Amino acid sequence: GGQGGQGGQGSSLFRSPAILFTVRDTGRGIPSDKLESIFERFQQVDSSDSRNHEGTGLGLAICKSIVQQHGGEIWVDSQLNEGSTFYFTLPVLQDAHINQLEYRDSDHVPLVLVCDDDPEIRSQLQNLLEKRHYRVVTVANGEEAIAAASSSHPDVILLDLLMPGMNGWETLTVLKQRVDTQDIPVIICSVCTPTDNSKPNQDFVNWVSKPLEESLLFESLRQALTNSAKQIRVLLVEDDPDLAEVL
């Protein structure tokens, strides 16, 4: 393969379904030091091109802008004297019904506590969850997660593992030791890959790896919230021990 250049091909927390388009030519190719700059305005491979071909150097910049506005990415691979291949992606639009809250018939809107030390990831998760009409609280470390879980008592916690200070495992241990937070379902959300020793258990209900598959994330949330709703505790106040045992 040839040299590759990116036109706004950024990293993302989510892997969304996308269609890849390819445009290939057999021209003279693009030098490696021009692969990035050709996506900028008024940039051309050779300044003499504007005289020979009457170009303005705006074409690829416009393409980049249009693709990015539609949530896609654009980049190029090229070999000198052999040609260039331009790629761009456009996300696949999902059916409108999946953007509706699964709990729309209930008066209770689930509250999700997101704990991640990366502010960009917190923002991406918050935006995605709020688009699905979840309520969201975000925190940056384990100590804040414990305090927020105790005060807000969320319906589910999305917990990162690799955090400075109190890491995810230490945070999870404290959450499960505290009476006021031990029943909150926790979903591990980490770049780490789960092992045989990290299968869902009584401490956490699921594990989703970054970059996230949106469908897996929301399926994990649905399962966690459904199972949590089934676990109803009743406080029984009765001074007759025999009757209390029967009840």
- The CATH number given to whatever domain includes residue 156 is 3.40.50.2300
Same domain, 26 and 55: yes
In a domain, 43, yes or no: yes
DSSP string for 16-47: --EEEEEEE--SS---GGGTTGGGSTT--SST
The string of pLDDT tens digits covering residues 145-190 is 999 999 999 999 999 999 999 999 999 999 999 999 999 999 999 9
Looking only at the bridges linking them, the beta strands covering 83-91 and 73-79 are: antiparallel
* Mean pLDDT to the nearest integer, 112-127: 94
Structure tokens at 79: 């070999």
Same domain, 87 and 112: no
In a domain, 243, yes or no: no
Sign of CA dihedral 77, 79, 80, 81: negative
Same domain, 111 and 205: yes
Same domain, 113 and 78: no
The string of pLDDT tens digits covering residues 30-79 is 888 888 888 888 766 665 544 455 566 788 888 888 988 887 899 999 98
- Domain count for the chain, please give it: 2
In a domain, 102, yes or no: no
In a domain, 191, yes or no: yes
Better pLDDT: 101 or 38: 38
Distances (CA, A) of 119 to 13, 99, 141, 143, 236: 12, 24, 11, 16, 44
Q: Which of 91, 125, 153 is the last residue of a domain?
A: 91
Mean residue pLDDT of the chain comes to: 81
Same domain, 67 and 43: yes
Interior angle at CA 43, CA 40 and CA 49, nearest 5 = 155
Same domain, 68 and 142: no
Q: Provide the residue range defining the domain that includes 15.
A: 3-91
Q: Which of 56, 91, 126 is the last residue of a domain?
A: 91
